[in-house]
Structure 1
Amino acid sequence: MLRRLQHPVHPGLWLTRFVRWGPVRQGPNQWDFKVVTTTRSGKQKEEDRKRDNLDHAARAANVEPVRKLATEWRARREAWLKPLEQQGLACRFRAKTDWRLAIGLAGASPLETNIVFHRLYGVPMLPGSGLKGLALAVARSNGEHETIFGTQKAAGLVDVLDAIPISPPGKNWIEVDIMNPHYPDWYQQKKDKQGKALAPSDDQSPNPIFFLTVSPGVEFEFALLCRTRTNEAKDALNKAKAWLIEGLKTLGAGAKTAAGYGYFV
């Protein structure tokens, strides 16, 4: 029944539960998503079933019903944040991805790579816990960061909420990206017949790895909230907002920031 659907109901479930094509055994304890199939004309071709699953999940995440869920989620949050904003107890701001964004890349998935979708709505999102860690990384040189963000023994003055995407009409949220390590034998620390470690060389076949990313130019709405109704908490809110903005611009969110992923403008 699932294969008859043009799009699965939830792209996150498709990645973790409803995988369309599983890996094929290539040998003892060896599995691969790449298989050789024969067409009706008798020609053989190699199929990458992992890429097929990722393409399907990306299409599912970009459909209008998912966008509508994100809009409704943001509207509900605005309804209860707006009165608090007027009292200086909450704040919101928006920022766009400067290039691609990889969130939850190393998360558990039968496809080896993952991405963070909202568990109920299937919307790509930035978890508030990760954003709080990003702001904390900027703030560590300031002695106030424990008071503002809390410790294992005591809660802080500010909460950081999940970031919700806002995509303009006609622009996809999610796209498939590729890593292409050119020296797999060297990365895997393989050795030759004499037991000598193999060096990087051009005779090693590249090993393309596909994964899902948030597209460049996707706008997110970020939100922070005071935990107490005090002037101290209001001052802490402004500092936390500044730290988070600096972290998004200079450190980047998610994975592969050293390669340019995860930065915002």
Structure 2
Amino acid sequence: MAVQGLRNSIKGAVSSLKTVSHAGLLLDKGLEKQETGTGGSEARKSLFDRLCGTTSPEPYKLAFQRWQEAVQAMPNAASQVMKAKGRLIVGLGGEGVLETGLTLHHTYGMPFIPGSALKGLSRHYAEQVLGITAPKDSSKSLDQLSEPEKHHRVLFGTTDDAGYITFMDALYVPGSAPGDCPLVPDTITTHHPNYYTGGATQWPWDFDDP
């Protein structure tokens, strides 16, 4: 069974586009039809193929250059160009017309890592690897804390007091991906083994190790 996803008045226009300047708009609005049942979906495959052919639009390149210059001009700011060792996806749990989400820049449609995600990653590393844990008593002032606790408070803050460090978004560097195509097709299968294998049913929960 198939449900048409685009109005007839724009279906032809979307299908005839040779290039797409905003991958996010295409991902949210470009699925021609939603097909159910076995055997896969040609409409979904076509959508993914077009997404993976998206390159950096010129406005994004100019915006990235302005952003770099602004960061470099900031006092006490530090930035670093980094390369992922493998494929990276952020926002799997986000809303979308497909089963999984994907974080793309709202204005330019390019992938990026939100500053909030970088802050969470940094806190996880500090606590799990470096052993810098949050103060057990959040009511204590900074001068009442141990040195590791002070570092944690300054970096990450509390629910009542923001940290002293601003974590900015990590933007895709134009031209850094092969062919300047930062999106690639992949298959992600996330299953809860104890739910599918015999014995008593164990429901998935937030603290399962994938």
TM-score, length-scaled by structure 2:
0.67
Q: Which residue of 1 aligns with 2:100?
A: 113
Once the two structures are TM-superposed, the CA of residue 2 in structure 1 deviates from its matched residue by 1.8
SS in structure 2 opposite 1:22? Answer: strand
- 1: CA distance, partners of 2:167 / 2:108: 20
Corresponding position of 1:56:
50
Identity of aligned residues (%): 25
Q: Quick check: 1:75 aligned with 2:95?
A: no
Distance of aligned partners of 1:190 and 1:48 in 2 relative to their CA distance in 1, 3 Å threshold: farther
| More strand by percentage | 1
- Give the unaligned 5+ runs of structure 2: 1-12, 133-147, 202-208
C-alpha contact (below 8 Å) 1:189/1:197 kept by paired residues: no
| Aligned-pair CA distance for 1:15 | 1.4
Q: What amino acid is aligned across from residue 172 of structure 1 in structure 2?
A: C
In structure 2, the CA distance between the partners of 1:197 and 1:91, relative to structure 1 (3 Å rule), is closer
Q: Using the alignment, how far apart are the partners of 2:105 and 2:90 within structure 1? A: 12
* Change over 3 Å in CA distance of 1:145–1:171 after alignment to 2: same
Q: 1:8 to 1:187 in 2, by over 3 A?
A: farther
Matched, 1:98 2:80: no
Partner of 2:135: none
Q: Which has the higher contact order (CA 8 A, sep 6+)?
A: 1
Aligned to 2:162: 155
Distance 1:158 1:180, change over 3 A: closer
Asked if the contact 2:56/2:181 (under 8 Å) is kept, the reply is no
Q: Which moved more, 1:134-143 or 1:114-123?
A: 134-143
Equivalent position amino acid for 1:53 in 2 = L
After superposition, what is the alpha-carbon deviation per residue over 1:222-265, rounded to whole angstroms, capped at 9, x for unaligned?
xxxxxxxxxxxxxxxxxxxxxxxxxxxxxxxxxxxx88xxxxxx
SS at match of 2:90: coil
| Cα pair distance change 1:76/1:152, threshold 3 Å | same
Please give the secondary structure, in 1, of the residue aligned with 2:123.
Answer: helix
Q: Secondary structure at the match of 1:75?
A: helix
Matched with 1:238 is: none
Distance 1:188 1:8 in 2: 41
SS in structure 1 of the partner of residue 34 of structure 2: coil
Q: In 1, distance between residues paired with 2:194 and 2:59?
A: 42
Number of residue-to-residue matches in the alignment: 169
1:104·1:115 contact (CA, 8 Å) conserved in 2?
yes
Aligned residue among 152, 161, 169 for 1:145: 152
Deviations 1:201-228 (A, max 9, x none): xxxxxxxxxxxxxxxxxxxxxxxxxxxx
Separation of aligned partners in 1, 2:64 and 2:24: 19
Q: State which of 172, 184, 208 in structure 2 corresponds to 1:165.
A: 172
- CA distance change for structure 1 residues 64 and 148 in 2, over 3 Å: closer, same or farther? closer
- Report if the CA contact (8 A) 2:35-2:41 is conserved: no
Residue in structure 2 matched with residue 4 of structure 1 by the alignment: 16
Give the AA of the match of 1:7.
T
CA shift digits 1:153-190 (9 cap, x unpaired): 11211101110112337343110001368x99x77649
| Conserved 8 A contact 1:117-1:124 | yes
Q: How does 1:172-211 map to 2 (within 5 A)?
A: 172-179=181-188, 189=196
